[in-house]
Structure 1
Amino acid sequence: MSELAWWQRGVIYQIYPRSFQDSNGDGIGDLPGIRTRLEYLAALGVDAVWISPIYPSPMADFGYDVADYCNVDPMFGTLDEFKQLMGRAHQLGLNVLLDFVPNHSSDRHPWFEESRSSRDNPRRDWYLWRDPASDGGPPNNWLSRMGGSAWEWDERTGQYYYHAFLREQPDLNWRNPQVRRAMDDVLRFWLDLGVDGFRVDVLWLLIKDALFRDNPPNPAYRPGEPEHHRLLQRYTEDQPEVHDIVRSMRATLREYGERVLIGEIYLPVAQLVKYYGAGGDGADMPFNFQLLNARWNAREIASMIQAYDSALPEHAWPNWVLGNHDNPRVASRVGIAQARVAAVLLLTLRGTPTLYYGDEIGMTDGAIALDEIQDPAELRQPGIGQGRDPERTPMQWDGSLPHAGFTRGRPWLPVDTTTSVRDQDNDVSSVLSLYKSLLVLRRSHAALVQGTIENIVAHGDVLTYERRYRNQRLFIALNMGDEGVDVQTQSGAVLLSTMTSRRGQAVVQGAIHLAAEEAVIVARGNE
């Protein structure tokens, strides 16, 4: 597998830094805390850690409002402590990825403070400023993804500025060459320190319509959805010019050798795959989020896999995401038994998997009382289900009360103590043991890393497919139903099952009986 890049061979593990490990008792996770848990991640078997934003920030949106792109917020530690973390990670064979947040800054960033100081400030055009409409209102009908108008009136200069998210997050003007150069300098700053790549936040939103035309109404909008869904985002996302920016970012990373560029892009597959670029000059991996919202049944998942694999350009490397900081956890979406099945799916599909912290122990969405809500998306639009706090609750390390080893102080969000890494570490039937076994199997079988995916079939509630590479043939069967079922297969050896009761049943002859909600991996042929 040496001909593949590390990010093609590897598995990425996302850390939400506020919630991973607190080292100083303030109830918020930090860089020294992450550093103390790197051995755990190396032993788990992942290959890279992706750390959500750690930059200096007023924390209006928990770090996605950046006030300084080239430093670390004191809440998380210091730049030296980041260097120490990265150095230790590299010693352990772990690559380090950072979140890059180029669409918008904080309104307290010096760039924006200069921009709003006067209409003739040299940085005025670094952001999106427009005169009022003829009635004195916003320039057009664009809506914020956090609710309300996307335009904020600035009394001092008599214009509106655009913010796709909170008003504290003004959007940068990526049509301005000076902005592009400044953000390229940011990438180089971290690359010079040794960072192994970036996940680029909301990559598909960077460019807006040059004519600032109104977005058309969305005929499929249903009451209760987020307000911005009332409009089709025709002029505020996925503009053709964004691909030039992606090419530029990719070119910068290429100067530093084997670095990876990952794009956060919530788009249908036909549009998503365009972000790979022509001949590999786009993002290395535009994130594939289909599993986050898929209906959990064999027919839909089979169709999804087939459509995605066939849509990929010849040069493209696939990827799959099962959970992240913006969506309900998989164990809450499909139940803990099916979360085991989902783990087998994620780690046997073709492409690079991304794990979300805590999914390896089956963490579920936390229970957040009304007076504990932190997420501005929910606070601004209560009751629409946009709150992201439940999937951001702290990691559960051990059974100690009251906070499961996450902090000795009061945690920023409540901590569930029903299970933990320590509880599961020596339990062969645990979710954690399953993930470890899957990661060992993936590392030792080239078919799971660089093999083709073939014969993707839904048989009622059962999804089956094969991974093939040279003389390796692996058969994967996933029972997404709650009843046992017989599945036809060629003879082979059972390499892994989600059911501990199958131990000792190492060989199958022509058929295998899957228990309810069981997944198996069978080695066929000369394996």
Structure 2
Amino acid sequence: MSFTSTAQAPAHSAALGTDPQWWRQAAVYQIYPRSFADADANGIGDLRGITSRVQYLQDLGIDAVWLSPFYPSALADGGYDVDDYRDVDPKIGTLEDFDAMIEALHRAGIRLIVDIVPNHTSDRHEWFLEALASPKGSAARDRYIFRDGTGPGGDQPPSDWTSIFGGPAWTRITEPDGSPGQWFLHSFAKEQPDLNWHNREVHEDFLHTLRFWSDRGVDGFRVDVAHGLSKDLPANLPSQAELDATPKDGSHPIWDRDEVHEIYREWRGVFNEYDPPKIGVAEAWVDSSRRPKYASAEGLGQAFNFDLLEASFDAEQFRETVTFNLELAAQSGSSSTWVLSNHDVVRHATRYGLPPKADGEDKAGTHWLLSGGSSPELQAEEGLRRARAATLFELALPGSAYLYQGEELGLHEVAEISDSDRQDPTFFRSPGFSVGRDGCRVPLPWSSTGAAFGFGDGAAHLPQPEWFADFSVEAQDGAADSTLSLYRRALQLRRELQGADTLEWVELPGAGSDVLAFSRPGGWVCVTNFGKSAVALPAGEVLVSSQPLSTGELPAETTVWLRQH
């Protein structure tokens, strides 16, 4: 079956203009909908809650919202287990609520990028339910990856593969007649069966989904696990050890296969049916040399660069990361993306307040989280100071900046969550090794009082700590030195100052190796002092700084933007 787009983009989209390059230097704000704002007091954030906060988003100064999954879901993986790709989870709204939300965003000059999850469905998707009710070898099962088991009676999985979330990557089903049956592959949780992208029906259904949301006015798609769709599994499957040892050079059985880009060329054809074309941004955890393929103009157009997120607060690491990724973006003709926090990692205000990680040490603060935030001791003020400096550095860079909800409040990771309150499947599947990602997904504090700090009228779905009161929007709104005010000022200036997406490194005489400076077209300069001591402040008109400035000095762990004439 094929689908053709006939609907016109909603009229309110016209207010955004038709610049096909709008995304190149956009500031994009990620909303994790279940934790943003709750309008119906059920403890879960919803679409009407987002609509009620559009003025806040407009005042913040962002160009686009990236909306994490809002589809019907059992929440086995925070919404990334999708029951229906063309509907809204009843717990967070309706299609009518979605239309009202996008209209409000567009009228405020804010575009919308939505998550799409093409590697797997949920185990409640109608296709998977049909596969369970159908016999071995049926067309329904061919949409997924089913295999016979090994050993006597097929009671052992087809291979010893481990899922990303821990535990086996294969789960056995019960056949319609009640007998033990085949096994299905799930690269993540068992509630997320992997799709078979060799099946043409899978291709056509996702093309339909892309048009469905595009016709409702969506401006682009963030593609989850973009490097995982195409798989080529031999009859005799390799062991986990052999799989781990296989180079990811385009021929790996599961990850980053060359033919995945044939899928995205199809998607690009759909994107280009619209004016301006829809955009795609790949979440592709691949070798950096292979990232440009995802960001090419013939493919998705942009790919996430997580290198700055993984760097320590260090001048040399930041300079090397930026230089490398700007060169990488030039290979594809795309712009780079910059990320410091998202829904999968410990917030950067906390990461920067923990001891520097050693080579090979966990990058996400797992040991600190496992201790409930007690060990090693978090240097919270230092972490926030560094986070403000790193953010101002990030926002000065050419390319797209992807911000995560709550970082504009300077929120730290919430470590003090009891086991009984946790929701992330990584916690349940990796006991003693990971407490999961709930700590960065705790609902936002809008006010300094109330049962849910203004998130909603009832208790929030994840417990909020008392210290949220001091970080709330209410506490920071109008305070000149607040993190919220810093973000608003920087994002306003970013729109005014940005020109061509290039930079030039600037060597400051006598500044030392802990100071990093670069200029952007138009005569403005970003200077960051990564060191522990103040240095001389370069000449120029101060536009914004991450910390108050002393006369003639740039304090430790501080970024400043200057206009030099």
Task: Flag whether TM exceeds 0.5 (same fold).
Answer: yes
Contact 1:403–1:417, Cα closer than 8 Å, also in 2: no
Contact 1:328–1:391, Cα closer than 8 Å, also in 2: yes
Residue of structure 2 in register with 1:132 after alignment = 149
Residue identity matched to 1:405: G
Match of 1:5 among 18, 21, 32: 21
- In structure 2, relative to structure 1, the CA distance for the partners of 1:230 and 1:108 (3 Å cut) is farther
Residue of structure 1 in register with 2:541 after alignment = 493
| Superposition map of 1:298-447 within 5 A | 298-312=315-329, 313=331, 315-334=333-352, 335-366=383-414, 367-385=416-434, 387-415=436-464, 416-447=468-499
Residue of structure 2 in register with 1:520 after alignment = 560
Residue of structure 1 in register with 2:518 after alignment = 465
Residue identity matched to 1:217: A
Distance 1:383 1:294 in 2: 26
Q: Deviations over 1:141-187 (max 9, x none)?
A: 32211112211112317211100111111001011111100111111
Residue of structure 2 in register with 1:221 after alignment = none
Q: Deviations over 1:266-297 (max 9, x none)?
A: 223212222123xx101221111112221221
Any idea what SS the aligned residue of 1:158 has? Answer: strand
Any idea what SS the aligned residue of 2:518 has? Answer: strand
Contact 1:114–1:121, Cα closer than 8 Å, also in 2: no
Post-superposition offset of 1:446:
2.8
Residue of structure 2 in register with 1:222 after alignment = none
Residue identity matched to 1:474: W
Residue identity matched to 2:460: P
Distance 2:229 2:85 in 1: 17
Q: Deviations over 1:208-255 (max 9, x none)?
A: 22426425638xxxxxxxxx9899774221111111111111221111
Any idea what SS the aligned residue of 1:39 has? Answer: helix
Deviates more, 1:125-134 or 1:37-46: 125-134
- In structure 2, relative to structure 1, the CA distance for the partners of 1:142 and 1:46 (3 Å cut) is same
Contact 2:24–2:334, Cα closer than 8 Å, also in 1: no
Residue identity matched to 1:196: D
Post-superposition offset of 1:111:
0.5
Distance 1:87 1:496 in 2: 33
Distance 1:180 1:2 in 2: 28
- How high is the sequence identity, in percent, across the aligned residues? 39
Contact 1:14–1:50, Cα closer than 8 Å, also in 2: yes
Contact 1:58–1:65, Cα closer than 8 Å, also in 2: yes
Contact 1:402–1:417, Cα closer than 8 Å, also in 2: no
Residue of structure 2 in register with 1:170 after alignment = 193
Match of 2:221 among 190, 198, 201: 198
Q: TM-score, normalised by structure 2?
A: 0.84
| Superposition map of 1:18-29 within 5 A | 18-29=34-45
Contact 1:463–1:479, Cα closer than 8 Å, also in 2: yes
Residue of structure 1 in register with 2:368 after alignment = none
Q: Is 1:143 equivalent to 2:162 in the alignment?
A: yes
| Superposition map of 1:150-299 within 5 A | 150-156=169-175, 158-211=181-234, 213-214=237-238, 217=241, 234-258=252-276, 259-277=278-296, 280-299=297-316
Residue of structure 2 in register with 1:102 after alignment = 118
Distance 1:12 1:325 in 2: 14
Stretches of 4+ aligned residues off by more than 3 angstroms: 1-4, 228-234, 456-459
Q: Which runs of 5+ in 1 are unaligned?
A: 219-227, 506-511
Residue of structure 1 in register with 2:362 after alignment = none
Post-superposition offset of 1:499:
2.4
Residue identity matched to 2:117: V
Calculate the aligned-residue CA RMSD, in Å.
Answer: 2.2
Q: Is 1:75 equivalent to 2:91 in the alignment?
A: yes
Residue identity matched to 1:422: E
Distance 1:403 1:206 in 2: 39
Q: Is 1:53 equivalent to 2:69 in the alignment?
A: yes
